[in-house]
Amino acid sequence: MQNSILSIVLTTAILASCNSKKANNQRVSTPGTPREEIVIHRYEKALFTIDQRNLKAGLKNIYPEYAFFLGKEWEDTMNVLRIYNYMNDPNIRELYKLEAAKFPDVGFLKKGLEDAYSLYRKIYPEKPLPKVYTYISGLDIDRPIVFADTAMAVSMDLFLGSDVIAYAKAGIPEYKIERFTSDHILPVCMLTVAKSLISTDENKMTLLDQMVAAGKALYFLDVTLPEVKDEDKIGYSAAQMEWCKRNDGNIWSFLIANQLFYSSDPRATGKLIVDAPFTSGFVTESPGRLGEWIGWQIVRAYMEENPSTSLRDLMENTDAQSILKGSNYKPSKS
């Protein structure tokens, strides 16, 4: 199901649009563009209100606003058929029904993105406001947000609530389902933006490099989403967040004892970065992605120790070792 949906709404989208210390306030106080309005275009509503007896005519009517999804060759008979099949897929229709009931209004998302972008564009004034769309992806858990600088598409069917039966029916693991709530929409949106800004060196793929890159992305959320809870930024439960705070020294000692910081072995580094119900080598109460957590603390400490460093400077710095050294982050083992 997912592959057919992707061919309709994602591939053309990307091609069409491409031509606990809080962040220091001084990093967002520079003059920038005034707050601007973000308009959210609800593709799923436009599509599912079309009279299927006149599908082609209906698609023609919505095409000017939703060319991002439909693509230039939408009139091709096979493309129209694929859209028809997508609209009549019982799983898609169930997800749309749930989404329409859960999100009759997306004013919260509009305001949240406007707040975040007002802070983001004070640091990156050259970046455009994206045209924001909502849609039903068919549970594409690998790409909850499609972002290409000038456009952002939000897969609303991935934020319906952790009690939605459709998620378990689709075989999605429980630890992922716990993050499928409306509280996670904004953090996931802005995390996707952050990842588009981070400069990386393809020749540097050590665990430290991956940890610091993840830490930069999460620090970007500290700056652009200062009111969002830390657990929602990283996708942990409150209990998992407390576990990390209590055990940061133990995590650090584990990394040192196993000489993991400068390892490029994916079998070793993956355990600390790849999403999982818990981190291998630790108790089951631990969350997954502990490497991301430690990377976040390193970056936070670095920015505290180096107050003259701007967010832009941080995102463009590809020397993870210098960031670690400059952070003076060395938690004690409990």
Q: Which two tokens stand for residue 141?
A: 């858990």
Residue 18 is predicted with a pLDDT of 45
What is the rounded CA–CA span in Å between residue 23 and residue 78? 50
Tokens 């050590």 found at: 206
Helix (H) / strand (E) element for 243: namely helix 238-257
**In the chain, domain spans:** 2-195, 207-327
User: Which residues in the chain come in under a pLDDT of 70?
Assistant: 1-34, 334
DSSP assignment of 181-195: SGGGHHHHHHHHHHH
Residue 35 is predicted with a pLDDT of 77
Residue 268 is predicted with a pLDDT of 84
| Mean pLDDT, the chain, whole residue set | 90
User: 123: phi > 0 → left, psi -120 to 50 → alpha, else beta; which?
Assistant: alpha
User: 184: phi > 0 → left, psi -120 to 50 → alpha, else beta; which?
Assistant: alpha
Residues counted in the chain: 334
Residue 34 is predicted with a pLDDT of 62
| Residue type for position 145 | I
* Helix, strand, coil percentages in the chain from 3-state DSSP, rounded to 5: 60, 5, 35
Distance in angstroms between the alpha carbons of the first and the last residue of the chain: 48
Residue 290 is predicted with a pLDDT of 97
Calculated CA dihedral for residues 37, 315, 263, 258, nearest 10 degrees: -80
For residue 157, the SS3 value is helix
Residue 3 is predicted with a pLDDT of 42
Q: Which two tokens stand for residue 256?
A: 């040192």
CB 235 within 8 A of CB 179: yes
How far CA 160 is from CA of 33, 116, 171, 191, in Å, comes to 34, 22, 16, 19
Question: Would you give the DSSP letter of residue 149?
Answer: S
Share of the chain above pLDDT 90, in %: 84
Q: What are phi and psi of 41, to 5 degrees?
A: -100, 120
Residue 17 is predicted with a pLDDT of 46
